[in-house]
Amino acid sequence: MSSGRPRVGTFKKVTSLANPLVKDIRALHQKKRRDDTRLFIAEGQKLVRDAAEFGWPIHTLAYAATLAGDPAIGALAAETKAGGGTVLEVSAPVLEKITRRDNPQSVVGVFRQRFAPETDVGRDGIWVALDRVRDPGNLGTIVRTADAAGLAGVALVGACCDPFALEAVRATMGSVFHVPLAQLSEDTLVAAARRHGARLVGTHLIADAIDYRKADYRPPLILLMGNEQQGLTDTLSAASDQLVRIPMRGKADSLNLAVSTGLMIYEALREC
Interacting residues toward ligand SAM by CB under 6 A: 203, 205, 225-226, 228-229, 231-232, 245-246, 248, 254-255, 257, 260
Q: Which is nearer to ligand SAM, 98 or 161 (CB)?
A: 161
Q: Which is nearer to ligand SAM, 110 or 201 (CB)?
A: 201
**Residue in 94, 77, 74 with CA at minimum distance from that of residue 86:** 77
Residue 22 φ/ψ, nearest 5 degrees: -65, -45
Shortest distance in whole angstroms from residue 197 CB to ligand SAM: 23
Sign for the CA dihedral angle at 67, 73, 78, 79 comes to negative
Our CB check for ligand SAM shows the closer of 103 and 229 to be 229
CB of 124 to ligand SAM, least distance (A): 23
Q: Helix count (H) and strand count (E) of the chain?
A: 10, 12
Q: Which is nearer to ligand SAM, 182 or 257 (CB)?
A: 257
51 vs 244, beta carbon nearer ligand SAM:
244
CB 95 within 8 A of CB 108: yes
Distance (Å, rounded) from C-alpha 124 to C-alpha 168? 26
**Nearer CB in complex with ligand SAM: 61/142:** 142
Please name the residue ranges forming H helices in 100-160: 136-148
CA nearest neighbour of 8 among 62, 60, 75, 71: 60
Enumerate long-range contacts of 28-34, CB under 8 Å, 24 or more apart.
28/1, 28/110, 28/166, 29/100, 29/166, 31/162, 31/165, 33/1, 34/113, 34/162, 34/164, 34/165
